[in-house]
Amino acid sequence: MTTPLRLVRRDDRSPLAVVAERKATRTPLIAGTDEALIPLGAADVTDAYVVGMRDAEVTRFMYGVRKTPQTRETVSAYVRLNHDDPASLLFGIYTAGTLRGTIRLHAIEPGEGSCHLGICIFDRSCWGGGLAGRCLAAATRFAIEDAGIARIIAGVDVENAVSHRLFAGAGFRTDPSWRYALDGRPTDLWVFDARRAS
């Protein structure tokens, strides 16, 4: 059993206003030494990002990505879609100034509702060193403390043991009976969630 998060809200603006400002200013979140989360625009898409989205091991549990062959155009369209969506914030995960992955807050509800979160480290040389955990912690703090989101939800494949450990280690909780719905249909995804302290 993991210890629940004890994060409190620091900002009284609506989540969508905080997200819009973060996109406009591209102010980075600092995850660790020489690490940053920076809102992405289509111009930030790199060859390494595209190659990562073509890597079967990287995208093993990314159902939507695997449906379409990934090209610079499809990856750029995805980044642009998230940038243009007021209820979404796609951060690039950077180390030493190089894009290594993404973390996405999406389906952000107005007011003090919930949002969904997904993370992908597409640069496999960064796997296993704690980068994903530090970035997940930074994005979770931003969502709850700065944007005022009350609940963060992540759907994780039942077979994705690495992500189970990642989310549990970041203070997210789960119950195997909780199931994530995709397009209104039950899936083999566990729900992990983090909630703001009351």
Tokens of 84: 């243009």
Per-residue pLDDT at 2: 47
Does 1 reside within a domain? no
Band the pLDDT of 185: cuts 50, 70, 90: low
Does 112 reside within a domain? yes
Task: Give mean pLDDT, residues 159-164.
Answer: 92
Per-residue pLDDT at 14: 87
**Which of 6-20, 70-84, 110-124 shows the lowest mean pLDDT across its residues?**
6-20
Task: Give mean pLDDT, residues 25-43.
Answer: 92
Q: What is the domain extent for residue 190? A: 15-195
Band the pLDDT of 111: cuts 50, 70, 90: confident
Does 10 reside within a domain? no
Task: Give mean pLDDT, residues 95-117.
Answer: 93
Does 3 reside within a domain? no
Query: What is the rounded distance in angstroms from the CA atom of residue 182 to the CA atom of residue 100?
Result: 27
Band the pLDDT of 124: cuts 50, 70, 90: very high
Higher pLDDT, residue 179 or 103? 103
Per-residue pLDDT at 77: 97
Does 6 reside within a domain? no
Q: Is the pLDDT of residue 43 over 90?
A: yes
Does 51 reside within a domain? yes
Does 40 reside within a domain? yes
Per-residue pLDDT at 163: 95
**Taking a C-beta distance cutoff of 8 angstroms, is the pair 188, 157 a contact?**
yes
Does 179 reside within a domain? yes
Higher pLDDT, residue 12 or 40? 40
Query: What is the rounded distance in angstroms from the CA atom of residue 180 to the CA atom of residue 188?
Result: 8
Query: What is the rounded distance in angstroms from the CA atom of residue 194 to the CA atom of residue 100?
Result: 24
What average pLDDT does the chain have?
A: 88
CATH of residue 54's domain is 3.40.630.30
Q: Is the pLDDT of residue 65 over 60?
A: yes
Beta bridge partners of 99: 94
**Which of 4-13, 92-101, 178-187 shows the lowest mean pLDDT across its residues?**
4-13
Q: Is the pLDDT of residue 1 over 80?
A: no
Side-by-side strand order, sheet with 151-157: 29-32, 35-39, 89-95, 98-106, 114-121, 151-157, 185-195, 173-182
Domain tally for the chain?
1
